[in-house]
Amino acid sequence: MVLAFKVFEVIEPRDLGILASKLRDVAIIEEAEIDGRTVETGIAVRELQLEEDKLRGVFEESFVATFRYRDEYFKVPISVETPFEFYVRGDRVFLILEAKKQRANRLAGFVGEIVSAKKGSVVEAELSHETLKAMYESNPEGTKVIFFDNVRLPGIEKLSLYGEQLANTELYQKYLQLGTIWYIVYETEEGIVIGVTRNCVVTVFSRVDPETALEIIRERIIPKTLPLPGREEE
Residue 98 half-sphere exposure, CB side, CA atoms within 13 Å?
21
Range of the domain at 59: 3-124
Same domain, 62 and 7: yes
203 lies in some domain: no
Same domain, 144 and 55: no
CB burial class (10 A; 0-12, 13-18, 19+) of residue 128?
A: middle
Considering only CA atoms, which of 194, 3, 17, 6 is closest in space to residue 88? 17
Same domain, 133 and 119: no
Q: Measure the CA–CA gap between 197 and 146, rounded to whole angstroms.
A: 10
**124-161: per-residue pLDDT in tens?**
999 999 999 999 998 888 999 999 999 988 989 899 99
113 lies in some domain: yes
118 lies in some domain: yes
- Average the pLDDT over 61-72 and give the result: 93
Q: Looking at 124, 154, 187, which one is the last position of a domain?
A: 124
H or E stretch including 85?
strand 72-89
Question: Is residue 57 very low, low, confident or very high in pLDDT (cuts 50, 70, 90)?
Answer: very high
Stated pTM of the model:
0.92
